[in-house]
Structure formats: structure tokens, C-alpha cells
Structure 1
Amino acid sequence: MASTREADNDSDGETSENPERQAMDYMSRVLRTVTLQDKGSRPPRTLPMEAQDGIPHGSLDLKKSPVSGEDGVVTSLLLLLPLELILHVLSYLDARFILSVLPLVCRTLRDIVSEKVTWKVRVQKRVSSSFPVVEQENFDWPSACIELEEQLSHWSDNRKTEHFSLAEGHYASIDAVLLLQGGSLCVSGSRDRNVCLWDLRNLGNDQEKVIVKALGTEKNGTHKGWAWSLAACENRVCSGSWDSTMKIWDIGADGQLVQDIKGRAAILCLAYQPDILVAGSYDKRVSVFDPRASSPLIKSRKIHSSPVLSLAADERHIISGSEDRTLVVFDRRVNAVSQRIQLDNYLFCMSYEAHQLWAGDNQGLIHVYGNHGGTFQHLRCFDVGHTSQVTGIWHSAGALYTTSTDKTMKIHIPTDPPTTLGTQAHSSVVNGVSAAGRTVAAASCGQTVEIWRFLE
């Protein structure tokens, strides 16, 4: 095993350049504010999708009653109605209620709820654009519909959303934020070199009891350089820093340090899977570690010609975006690069879920890639209204959040094109976003963690 690991690693040694000088050079080059003078003249690039012809077709006939009684006896007057009218009646009920309660009422309602067409019709009545952007064969329509409806409800009525600005944890710009345990905990990384753990369970009840603690035992900070990137797997959180280290914390043990891994250069992005930890670094490398091993480094390859800015991973692929304007897909099964896609701009952030890769670039645009049988294909390019680079993106089946150096966070429905529900303006640059459960968190250059919580 040792010889295999050594053979995988490039051997040009550790970088000797001053990390602080690297960080300042990075800030002036990558994170400078860019105005989009040419956005208006550049049409979004798209690939053709199948046309949708109004109400989608399924195995149920919308014009016929789904039941006429068993043994010739009608059991419910409601079920005598055509399915189209039954769906209209159901549209006044909460989607979660429909999914959890109606299947228990009778077999007919259970069949209606289990039909994909039921949820397609429901979604189509609520959004005017195509949804979803990338439809998979096993797309979870009920869950997507629930998320979409809650997104529409919470952000269209300010009375359903609480906003908190947490300013007690850091004294410098916050560059990374990550929600854990369904939104009850939050982790933030800052240029003050600290990684802070926030307990949000009392948020909204007694804000003075929102406990915050800096991770680690060092007096001068969690790291010796800017705490720049965060990733989590179950109860383990990894923080990456400009001091070239990665530290793994056990959140289940009140943030106790589990492992300290030394890298070759500044750690700019991370991806955490159950079996591996992946790091993208300033020295153009993508490195793979096994945190469970005594010698954690598995391989480290210089697959880019500029710093690695964004990462995503699953059980088969590692996807990396770099300042060299390439997107590289590494196939873990064959231990080799399977795709190298040249881009017009570089990707600064990624969100990867259910074979969809959503990414924000340095020109304020959002790109969507679909994973089809292991091959990633560029499907869409959207202008969602940001006027400079997208610093953070979070995507799920029914929700989309983006942050930018234009000092805004935008809330969208992930339709084609995205339906923007609102913009949260801020006094400082917004550096990243995370969502979990009923909570959304954003990292601010103004030394605050911004929290939005949906009321039940």
C-alpha cells in the first residue's frame, strides 16, 4: 500500500512561498470585485431539453374518476370526481400532510399520492418555468414539491422568516460557513484564524444563550493561518487553512480535535466522503486522504495549472474547478482523470447532489452540469442577477441559494431558468451559504454569521 501511495504523488516538494503573501496575492487576483460589462451581450448557453406540453402525462387519466366503487358501491363522493378535480382539491392542502396522512385514508388516495403525475401537476401549477432542470429517472417528485412549496411560502411572507446577525464569535472576515445536525449547529471559519462552533438551538428564544466556542486549544487561533474551507461527513467536520493544514473535529464530542493533517500548500476547498477526504490546494493539487489511516495521504496529483478553487465528490467521482478555467472529473474506480472540460470562466463554488452539479463562476453566472452514466455534460448557463463573482452556492431538489461579492444573497427556485424569490442585501461581501432543515446561514466579510430561520 505504501509504494502505491508514493507512486501516485507528484514529487516537487512543499511550497516555500510565504503563506500570507500567497493569501494576499490570491485575494487581489481571485476575489477582486468584477463588474459584468459584457453580460448583456452574451446569451446563456444551453442544450436543448425535451419540450413540456402543459400538464404532464402519467399512468392516471386526468379526465376519469380514479374509482367508481368496489363491488359497485361508491365509497366516497370525493372519489367520484375526475382526477383533475381531486388534484385541485388537494392543492389546498399542505404537501407534507398529503404525503404523510392521505395514504392512510384509503387505497385509492394512496395510489393517487404515489403517482408521479400527481406531484408534476402540483408543481406545474406553482411555477411557470420548466422543472426540474435535470430530471433523473429516480427523481423524488414528492420531496422536491415539498421543498419548492416551502421555499415559496417562507420567502414570500416576511412573517414566516426570522433573521439573526451573530457577531460575537469572530473579529475578522468570515469566509466559510456550514450548518450541521439539521440546522441546530453551525460551524464558521474566519481570517481571524478561528473555527467557531455555534449552538443555534436557543436562537429566537433567548439569543444570549446561543453558545459559541472557538475549536482547538491554541490561544492564537484554531489554525495558524486563515480558516478558509469547511466540509462535513456525519459528525466529523474538517477545516482547511492557509497554514496548509486540515483539522478534523468530532462535533458529537463537543468539537474535540480528532486529527491534524499536514498538506503541501494552502487548503482552498474540501470535500468529505465516508471513506475519503479530498483537498484542493493553492499549489494546483487535488489530494486524497483516508482520515482513518495512520498515514492518511493516499494520492496527491497536480491535475490543474492554477490553484484549485472548488471541489465536489461522491462514491465514484472527484470534480474539481480551478483558476485555470477547467473542470476536471477524476474517476475513482479507474484511478484516472476521465474528463477535462475547458471553460470560459473559472468556477468558484460548487453544489453537487443527485447527479446534478450546480456551480458559480467569477463572472456572476450559474452553470448546471448533468452526470449521465459517469459523463458530465454542461446543460445550462444562467444569469440570476449577480453583478460580480458567485462566492457560494447551495442547491437541493426544490431550493437554490447563491451569494456574491456584490454583497447579496439571492433565493431561488431551481427552475429553468431559476425563479428568483428575493435578494438579501448586506453591507459587506457575502462569502458562502449553507442550508439545512429550516435554517439558512451565510458568511459575511462584516465579521458576522447571518442566519435565517423559517417559522413552523
Structure 2
Amino acid sequence: MMASGRQAESDNDSDVETVEDPDTQALDYISRVLSGQSLNEKLHKTPSDDLPMESWDDSYQGGWNLKKSPVAEEDAEEHCQLLLLPLELILHILSHLDPRFILGVLPQVCKTFSAIVTEKITWRTRVKNRISASFPVVEQENFDWPTACMELEEQLSHWSDNGKKAEHFTLSDGHYASVDAVLLLQGGSLCVSGSRDRNVSLWDLRDLEPGQEKFKVKALGTEKTGTHKGWAWCLASCGNLLGSGSWDSTVKIWDIGAEGQQVGQIRGRAAVLCLAFLPDILVAGSYDKRVSVYDPRASNPLIRSRKIHSSPVLSLVADERHIVSGGEDRTLVVFDRRANAVLQRIQLENYLFCMSYESPQLWAGDNQGLIHVYGSHSGTFQKLRCFDVGHSSQVTDVFHSAGTLYTTSTDKTMKVHIPTDPPRTIYTEVHSSVVNGVSVAGQTVAAASGGQTVEIWRFKE
């Protein structure tokens, strides 16, 4: 949505905006969108037959044969005895080593080990042997197989034994109302939470110890009435800058590197329901059906604001090319930043409440408890899969990376999955209240609870 000038533009702006009390508007939104009622029927879909998944090809690009040694016979004397074994046995031996060790140490041993480590099929074979399922869900040429393999194996290890390997902490001192947003920063050493008590709290997680009862927490801002004048509803960060969006129609900018000092404020026309923060822009989706783009560094930050939905904007993601937004009007809108125009408008059967995006994979959760997967190829988005991962009501948040998948729901659960086709659920955390959000960074997982707490799971390195 970048434009050459900074004048505001809008689409479908003929209707008159109504001014409502933020708290009344928020309560109406909760009763309509997040009722938390169980859903008796779900839309069940099976993978499309006309979308072929990548088949496993056990041949190496270098022309090696799995049944033979990767070393030529005439060069055998120059190599260690291990490399004289058939390649498939070498890969079997390597499967017992930590992938980080394989990546960091073996390439330094010799050129042959370096070649084995850099071969995609080495990691694809290892993943196949670990999970025996179609992976990844969205095909891509430059898929990072080593990273995916590391994340998959860590995910399986961390949440085995019914989650008992994690150190669990309940942060209960920072809020006195439902926590609706959570975000881990600086690799998981800091956590930020937004609540209906109107506060954005900054938690220091570096000194957490088992059995600890008090935790380091700071409410951002200097106002006695709270960080915002309305519910603190959404969070997004870029580097050391944090944006917090509220039902008071503002986005406040904070410098986490300067102990959370406020460095800016953007005032919109309606409640801010979702944010995306990039190095060059801040994108906000609002209750008045708009997607607005700002330059938070400028004195006049508004770049463009467009009403591209016919109902409130519930979720959005963005990168250097696209802004993708989901509305209560059950549409998914793809905006092309380079062309400065709507690229796609996809009508849905349900509305998407949350998204996780890293090109070309877009994972989204809807109001029926289902997970939808889209692939972006040649500049457009195509729906590839619909998964029932076991939630009985709205999916409130989704986090997806190369080897991990987390989902939270108003059914009072957080679920941990392997992002295969279909996802394999490896752990379910049952909470005492609705779970409104999840954030993952490094060895730390954070969840926002309707029970006025932030839940932390931490794994040892």
C-alpha cells in the first residue's frame, strides 16, 4: 500500500462512520466474534487430490549411490574409515547425532562430509525417517531443510513426556483483566502482554527460577489510568521497536532498547484490532473495516488508508511485497504493495481470526476451530489445505515456522503440533480459561490467558 505521496485515500467510503464508546464497542465485538461457544459442526475437508506433494527422491544431486561409499575407490586411503561405508549407513549413523553438531562440526572435517551435510536429500531423508508424513505442506524451491529438521526434532523432544520437560511459569502480577495479546522479544528474554485492563506490561524473563513467586514486570507508559485509554488488544515488533494497538483508536510506539520509553503515537479513526510491523512501515487493521499503512518515523505518519473490507479487520500479515488481511466479512484480501492495488479478494465460508506468514506459507485459524493453509506462488495465493486439529471453537492465534506449529483457542487449550500434512498434535495444554494468543522465540513459549495471566514454558538449551 505504499504511495508516492502521503495523502490518505479510501475505497467504499460513502457510508457514515458511527462514533461509539470504546468499551461498549469492544464488549459488542466480544459477544459477536469471540463468544467462546462450542461449535457442534465443523467443515471437514480432505487434501485435494489434484495438489501433488513432493515425492521422496533418494538419489543425490551429486550422483552418489546410497548403496555405495561416497568416496571413490582410488581415494579410499585418504579418508577416514567411516566414509568407506555405504552412504545409507553413514546417514544412519549421522541420524544419531544432534543436527546442530552435524552442521557446525562435520563440514570442517573434510570436503566429503561437507558435501554430505549440504545435500538437501540428507536432511529430507532424516525428516522422513523421523515423522513418516508429507512435509512441508507448501512446496518451495529454497526450503531450509536443515533448519526445519532441527526445529522438528527439538519440537518432538521438548513436548515428549506430556510436556514435563518444560519449566512452566504463571505470571500473574501484571494484569487484573483478561490478557489478549502476548509477544516474546529479544530471543525470548523479554515478554510483552496487552490486557483489557488497558495496560501493556513488559516482563523480564532472564532471571526466572522454578518456584519463583514474584516476577519483574513494568507497565509501559506514564499515565496512571493505564498504557492506553481502551483495551490493549494487539502487539507487533520490529527490532527494538514495539507497537501496541488499542480500542482507544491509537497505536503507541515503544523503544524496548530504552527500557520501554514511548517514542511515538499514531491516532487512527477506530479501534485497532491487528498490527504488522516491518522496517519501513507499520500496518494496522481496524474496526472501521480499514487497512492503514503508516511510517512511524514521520511527523505525518499516515501513508494510505483503505476500506477494503465490509466488516472489521480481524487479522493481517505483511512482507516487502504483500499485505494480507482477513475480515469479519469472511474475505481474505491480498494487497500488492508494489502495484499499489488489491491483487486478490477471496471469499471464505468462515472468517479468519489469526494468521502466521512466511512466504510462501500462510497458516490461518478461523472461527470454526479450523486451520487453513495457503501457498503464494507467482504473486497470488491459493488455498491448499484445511485441517481440523482438534479445537472445538475459535482459533485465537496460530504460530507457524519451518518445523513448529502452535494453536490457541477459546476452547481453553493450547495445542502443539508438527506442521505436516495433516498436522500431528503432540501436546495439548488444557487451561482454566480461554487462551487468546501465543508467541514463540528461541527456547521459550508464551501464551495469553483470559484468566489474567501470562503463561510461560521454557526449555533448557
TM-score (norm 2): 0.95
Q: CA deviation at 1:18?
A: 1.8
Q: 1:7 to 1:425 in 2, by over 3 A?
A: closer
Matches within 5 A, 1:319-334: 319-334=324-339
| Among candidates 97, 102, 116, match of residue 101 of structure 2 | 97
Does residue 281 (structure 1) correspond to residue 283 (structure 2)? The answer is no
Q: 1:377 to 1:53 in 2, by over 3 A?
A: closer
Partner of 2:69: 65
What secondary structure is seen at the aligned counterpart in 2 of 1:394?
strand
Percent identity reads: 72
- Partners of 1:50 and 1:148 in 2: how far apart? 23
Matches within 5 A, 1:35-434: 35-39=38-42, 42-44=44-46, 46=48, 48-51=50-53, 53=55, 56-59=58-61, 60-68=64-72, 71=75, 73-157=77-161, 158-204=163-209, 207=212, 210-434=215-439
Q: CA deviation at 1:159?
A: 4.5
| Among candidates 425, 428, 448, match of residue 443 of structure 1 | 448
- Aligned partners of 1:202 and 1:209 also within 8 Å: no
Q: CA deviation at 1:152?
A: 0.4
- Partners of 2:451 and 2:352 in 1: how far apart? 24
- Aligned partners of 1:44 and 1:383 also within 8 Å: no
- Partners of 1:3 and 1:71 in 2: how far apart? 62
- Aligned partners of 2:68 and 2:86 also within 8 Å: yes
Q: CA deviation at 1:34?
A: 3.6
| Cα distance per residue 1:36-56 (max 9 Å; x no partner) | 3222x7334536333555554
Q: CA deviation at 1:101?
A: 0.7
The aligned amino acid for 2:241 is R
- Partners of 1:34 and 1:380 in 2: how far apart? 25
RMSD across aligned positions (CA): 1.9
- Aligned partners of 1:15 and 1:265 also within 8 Å: no
Partner of 1:28: 31
Q: 1:58 to 1:404 in 2, by over 3 A?
A: same
- Partners of 1:7 and 1:84 in 2: how far apart? 61
Q: 1:282 to 1:289 in 2, by over 3 A?
A: same
- Aligned partners of 2:182 and 2:235 also within 8 Å: yes
- Partners of 2:239 and 2:37 in 1: how far apart? 37
| Cα distance per residue 1:1-29 (max 9 Å; x no partner) | 99943352466676412222211110000
Q: CA deviation at 1:205?
A: 6.1
What secondary structure is seen at the aligned counterpart in 1 of 2:159?
helix
| Cα distance per residue 1:284-316 (max 9 Å; x no partner) | 000110101100001111000000000000001
Unaligned runs of 5+ in 1: none
- Partners of 1:3 and 1:234 in 2: how far apart? 26
What secondary structure is seen at the aligned counterpart in 1 of 2:263?
strand
The aligned amino acid for 1:20 is D
| Cα distance per residue 1:367-395 (max 9 Å; x no partner) | 00111021011011000000001001000
The aligned amino acid for 2:48 is T
Does residue 17 (structure 1) correspond to residue 24 (structure 2)? The answer is no
Q: CA deviation at 1:88?
A: 0.3
Unaligned runs of 5+ in 2: none
TM-score (norm 1): 0.96
Q: 1:72 to 1:185 in 2, by over 3 A?
A: closer
